[in-house]
Structure 1
Amino acid sequence: MVTVLACALLWVVLVLPDAVDGLSLGAFLRVPVEGLLVVALLLVLPARARRPVALLLGMALSLVVLLKTLDLGFSAVLDRRFHEFYDWSYVGLGYAVLRVWVGPTGARVALVAVVVAAAVTVSLLVPATLRVQKVVASHPRTTARVLGAAGVVWVLGALTGLQVAGTPVASAATARLVSDHAVSLVEDSRAGTSFARAIDDDPFADAGEDLLAGLEGKDVLLVFVESYGRAALTEPTIAPGVTAVLESGTEELGEAGFSARSAYLTSPTFGGSSWLPHATLQTGLWTDNQARYDQLLAADRLTLTSAFGQAGWDTSFVLPAVRTGWPEGQAFYGFDELVGGDDLGYRGPELGWGAIPDQYTLSEVRRTLLDQTDRRPVMAQVDLVSSHLPWPPPPPLVGWDEVGDGSVFGCMPGCGRDPAQLEGMAHVRERYGESVRYVLRTLTSFVASHPDPDLVVVLLGDHQPWTFVTGPGPGHDVPVTIISADPEVLDRVDGWAWSEGMRPADDAPVWRMDAFRDRFLTAFSGRGP
């Protein structure tokens, strides 16, 4: 029985998938070629070398389990593989998110469980490998026969493509996993040099005096909506409500004199790390990991914000979730003023991850930026965070003249509710859809309730929500919309062939997010016809 359990444990480790969409019964019915090679190695080694080699193999398999576990977690949350070179910072971020999702006690329990699981894995895998080595040494002929039979099954499976429950019988998944991680580690370690060249190669580094002349006199808001991904328009349980809000929003804007054009951008990240798509859109550089982001912030690159600043706009970053100063961000992006959560003067209850509801944030944008007299045009990046996980119930909209200092939200549903006390995973899509609808209704009402012919809004998502909302294989696309009351503004993007209205068509253009900066600056620079 001990021998059977040892073999079964090694088998499971070698066939364990490294991505969530690979978890199935068929995955555990495969024949791992790595197991055959390990047994063959132990069979041919001299007797005195078998035990040390088995010990090393057991420790190596422990590292394989760690890699597969990290890959599974990253595939579930970020829809990609773990990268050893720059992803360790996500451990702390993941724990912080877990504290929000399950509470401090639940997060501590989960952390202890992970540590215990790692210790148990090592304590079981090494003895299991030694046990297999002992069996191989004691029964070489029987081992050779079993190995030969299993090898025939693997070869036939590889040649014929034989499958069980939709999964190929012949597996080399662990070997590919180790190879892929080794290759990516080498590539990631060398990527900094090529990214530095991309930073320096900026077609707009020496922009002329007609930079952004097509938006002269306009107030421009670059509005990021947290977790607003394509899944909001395609996932069957979410899409009907969200698309209805987009269609009614298009009508509401039209009645106020505004028009909209929409399409999709492919975000460099998934499920989180909003600062990466922010940097990608602002700089025109594909910033898909923390190493690139850190390298970028230490460099000199024209951002959309600094371009507006050079062209004569007053520039701001409105970041309600930021509670401290950000001098390195101000130096890089070039904004004149950072408006953080503590600067917004919010006196209401904490609602959701960002604490401040988006209606209050937009109300302050109008009061402190747009409604000021004797000023230059304003360009501001505004982050709307009410749609950030864990998606507690958003407050209903109130009249814009009732927002005040936010105290009005004290009597709203969800007030004082612990975000961790949610209804369970069965309702997560419903809660996500509700939060996205709230943000879109709020933004539409903000524009339409005070129609300003000189207001231009670029509205877009930063990334898709987690896979437990989107389902497997959702892609990285996010909706993007330009809203303006000036036909000349929309005429400049007519060649983009974007869909009319706030809802992008299924076949609307899809750009990588790093293409937006250059196309935007090209469209709106120069005096036009």
Structure 2
Amino acid sequence: MPNTLGTLKPVEFMRIPAEAIMGAVVLVSLPRRWRLGVAAVAGALLGFLTVLNMFDIGFNEYLGRHFNIILDWSLLPDAQSYLKDTLGDTAALGITVGAALLIVLLMALVALATVRLSNALARHKAQASRGALIAGTVWITCTAFSVQVAGVPLAAQHTAGVIKTQARTIQDTLRDEAEFQKIAKVDDYGNTPGSQLLTDLRGKDVIFTFIESYGRSAIEDPIEAPGVDKTLDERTAALEKAGYHAKSGWLTSATYGGSSWLGHSTTMSGLWISNQQRYRTVMASDHMSLTDAFKKTGDFDTVGVMPGVQKGWPEQKWYGLDKVYNAFQLGYQGPKFSWSTMPDQYALQQYQDRVHSKPLTDGKSRMSLLILTSSHQPWAPIPKMVDWDQLGDGSIFDAIHDAGNKSADVIADTTKSRQEYGKSVQYSVTALTEWLERYGNDNTVLVFLGDHQPIARVSGNHASRDVPISIVAKDPKVLDKISDWNWSDGLRPAHDAPVWKMSSFRDRFLAAYGSTKHPKTS
């Protein structure tokens, strides 16, 4: 069985598996007791490897990578929560129970089938031995002459390859854990005094904003790009009319299709956080985040607005945030838009009312971290912009929600998913830039970017991991500080604008705005 959706074709099941030939030889030669035990274990293992292949198909389709047998089990509860938020409690429960039963039955039935086959081999030992010899000869011949059927090699050893790949993954994961712990202890700004951090942003109102799934595909894909590019150009013109200017480039995200927190933490830590293990290591470390650097200056109050956080969030300490508003602290009484707990426009207005409009004490400035979620898959239904003065408690979105697409209809249609994804990005960018136009001031500095590309079915099977990033400000000195970055003017980065690894942004930003290196090595 292949482990990618693109290769899941009938011809794949016409191949001659070397493992089956070897298994037949072994089973024929064993006494009954050993034969039954080996057959049952081998069958259960084959069933389990089939489950891993299915996980691989899902992870490749959604996250653009293989399933990690050590790290990725912890993501399954999040997947179940996503189904619940997207399709409802009943459908989520049915899918979860069905998947669990499928796994158990698959392993049990393949084990029983293998035992039954071993008994058949034993009853016809002479014929089975001749058959194995003939099949082995055919396999060797097909291998030697590269015999193919419809472009697929007739001789296969896929199961052995899966086992070798998983063993290598386990070995690499364990090695990576030890190596990354050493890497996380090194920080070029780890010993920098607060007085020497971000000296050129004192007095500024700095806002970092992540837009969910805002990737290069939104700007360059032929289906998604026309609407998104038009929105970016229109919003650039509107901001320029209000006195703002912008510079934009590309960052290569550490994640793809999901696991947004890996993109957030990579950007803020300056480390390449590409899996859950690395994330846990960093969250437990004292490696300085970019947001914590503002707090260490002593000149900034730090706050987070996280409408996607619906449970305890201990990461607040590592991010250096004095206060965090989660999904339940923003007073929203309207409908959920699929996974997203509230429309971005509402979250931004709450940020304005609860944080941005409040006077600061002790002559401090403010640094804010906002995570916008309206462009989260499955992009149905999508909220629409309403009059800012009519937002209220969010009930105004009831009619918009009811008139929108159903999640199940969009999930099943690739073209529609791409179209609706583009619309969701247009909405998020519009909400954010209208907020800036309406409530920003001469000292506002907005940095906004995507956390990762959308799933492969929307961005393409061979899409890059690049995401757009923009810095917007009225004060020309702010953008002058990054003039040597060679970013594009406006909110839409050019195709050939510089591309950096997302992990390089923290140090580049710190250096550009007056921070002095004082390395920490342990």
d(CA) in 2 for partners of 1:404 and 1:217? Answer: 31
Give the secondary structure class of the aligned counterpart of 1:123: helix
Q: 1:446 to 1:165 in 2, by over 3 A?
A: farther
**Corresponding residue of 2:237:** 251
> Which residue pairs with 1:313 in the alignment?
300
1:26–1:165 CA contact under 8 A, matched in 2? yes
| Counterpart position of 2:519 | none
Which of 489, 492, 496 is the aligned partner of 1:500? Answer: 489
Q: Report the Cα offset of residue 391 of structure 1.
A: 2.0
Which SS does the other structure have where 1:460 is aligned?
strand
Could you say if the C-alpha distance between residues 142 and 81 of structure 1 is closer, same or farther in structure 2, counting changes exceeding 3 Å? same
- Cα deviations across residues 192-242 of structure 1 (Å, max 9, x unaligned)? 322221121111101243311222222111100112122222333222211
- Are the aligned partners of 1:32 and 1:170 in contact in 2 as well (CA < 8 Å)? yes
1:35 aligned residue? 20
CA distance in 2, matches of 1:445, 1:372: 20
Counterparts of 1:161 and 1:502 in 2: how far apart (Å)? 52
Q: Which amino acid aligns with 2:351?
A: V
- Measure the CA separation in 1 of the matches of 2:33 and 2:323: 70
State the alpha-carbon separation in 1 of the partners of residues 273 and 359 from structure 2: 38
User: Superposed, which structure 2 residues align to 1:79-118 within 5 Å?
Assistant: 79-118=64-103
After superposition, residues 19-418 of structure 1 pair within 5 angstroms as 19-45=4-30, 49-140=34-125, 142-208=127-193, 209-311=195-297, 312-324=299-311, 326=313, 328-375=314-361, 376-410=364-398, 412-415=399-402
C-alpha contact (below 8 Å) 1:260/1:481 kept by paired residues? yes
AA paired with 1:322? V
2:499 counterpart residue number: 510
The unaligned stretches of length 5 or more in structure 2 are 517-522
Partner of 2:472: 483
Distance 1:119 1:344 in 2: 42
Q: Which residue of 2 aligns with 1:17?
A: 2
Instruction: Report if aligned partners of 1:350, 1:416 keep a CA contact under 8 Å in 2.
Output: no
Residue 343 to residue 110, structure 1, CA distance change in 2 (3 Å): closer
**CA RMSD, aligned part only?**
2.6
Distance 1:261 1:190, change over 3 A: same
Deviations 1:249-295 (A, max 9, x none): 22222222222222222222222222221111111122222222222
Determine if contact 1:351/1:415 at 8 Å carries over to the other structure: no
Look up the SS of the partner of 1:236 in the other structure. Answer: coil
Q: How far apart, CA to CA, are the structure 2 residues paired with 1:25 and 1:61?
A: 19
**2-structure distance, mates of 1:341, 1:49:** 58
SS of equivalent to 2:339: coil
Report Cα offsets for 1:88-111 as digits up to 9, x if no partner: 111211111112232222122222
Q: Cα distance 1:152–1:231, how it changes in 2: closer, same or farther (>3 A)?
A: farther
Q: Is this contact kept in 1: 2:208–2:368, CA < 8 A?
A: yes
Question: Corresponding residue for 1:471?
Answer: 460
Q: Cα distance 1:424–1:268, how it changes in 2: closer, same or farther (>3 A)?
A: closer
CA distance 1:88–1:59, change in 2 (3 Å): same
Letter paired with 2:379:
W
Counterpart-to-counterpart distance in 1, 2:46 and 2:97: 22
Tell me which of 420, 423, 433 is aligned to 1:434.
Answer: 423
Change (3 A) 1:161 1:231: farther
Q: Is the 8 A contact 1:393 1:434 kept in 2?
A: no
CA displacement at 1:362 relative to structure 2: 1.4
Query: Distance between the aligned counterparts of 2:382 and 2:181, measured in 1?
Result: 42
Deviation at 1:486, TM superposition (A): 2.5
Give the number of equivalent residue pairs.
510
Checking the alignment, whether the CA contact within 8 Å between 1:393 and 1:435 is kept in structure 2 is no
Q: Please, which moves more after superposition, 281-290 or 25-34?
A: 25-34
Please report the TM-score for the alignment, with normalisation by the length of structure 2.
0.90
8 Å contact kept, 2:44–2:108? no
- Aligned residue type for 1:237: I
Q: 1:265 to 1:154 in 2, by over 3 A?
A: farther
Deviation (angstroms), 1:526: 4.9
Query: For 2:470 and 2:146, how far apart are their aligned partners in 1?
Result: 46
Which is worse superposed, 109-118 or 398-407?
398-407
- Asked if 2 retains the 8 angstrom alpha-carbon contact of 1:71 and 1:82, the reply is yes
CA contact (8 A) 2:15 2:153 kept: yes
TM-score by length of 1: 0.89
| Deviation per residue, 1:387-420 (Å, 9 max, x gap) | 122322333323333334434434x411597965
Between 1:367-376 and 1:496-505, the stretch displaced more is 367-376
Q: Which runs of 5+ in 1 are unaligned?
A: 1-15
Alignment partners' CA distance in 2, 1:54 and 1:323: 47
For residues 437-469 of structure 1, the C-alpha deviation after alignment (integer angstroms, 9 at most, x for no partner) is 100111121222345222111111112222332
| Range with greater deviation from structure 2 (477-486 or 392-401) | 392-401
Q: Deviations over 1:365-396 (max 9, x none)?
A: 23333333355221111011111223223333
The answer to whether the 8 Å contact 1:21/1:472 transfers is no
Aligned-pair CA distance for 1:304? 0.7
Label 1:24 to 1:248 Cα distance change in 2 as closer, same or farther (>3 A).
farther
**1:316 is aligned with what amino acid?**
V
Q: Distance in 1 between matches of 2:91 and 2:405?
A: 13
Q: Please report how far the alpha carbon of residue 31 of structure 1 lies from its aligned counterpart in structure 2 after TM superposition.
A: 2.6
- Partner of 2:369, secondary structure, is strand
Structure 1 residue matching 2:139: 3-state secondary structure: helix
Provide the rounded CA distance (Å) in 2 between the counterparts of 1:166 and 1:500.
47
Does the 8 Å contact 1:390/1:419 carry over to 2?
no
Q: CA deviation at 1:487?
A: 2.5
1:113-158, Cα deviation, whole Å (9 max, x unpaired): 2233223323331232234333433445544554444434433444
1:397 is matched by which residue type in structure 2? M
What amino acid is aligned across from residue 398 of structure 1 in structure 2? V
Distance in 2, matches of 1:450 and 1:115, equals: 50
SS at match of 1:458: strand
In 2, distance between residues paired with 1:256 and 1:154? 72
8 Å CA contact retained: 2:346, 2:394? yes
Contact in 2 for aligned 1:349/1:416 (Cα 8 Å): no
Amino acid paired to 1:225: I
Larger displacement relative to structure 2 (88-97 or 257-266):
257-266
Report if the CA contact (8 A) 2:232-2:491 is conserved: yes
2:467 counterpart SS class = strand
Structure-2 residue corresponding to 1:454: 443
Q: Distance in 1 between matches of 2:397 and 2:316?
A: 31
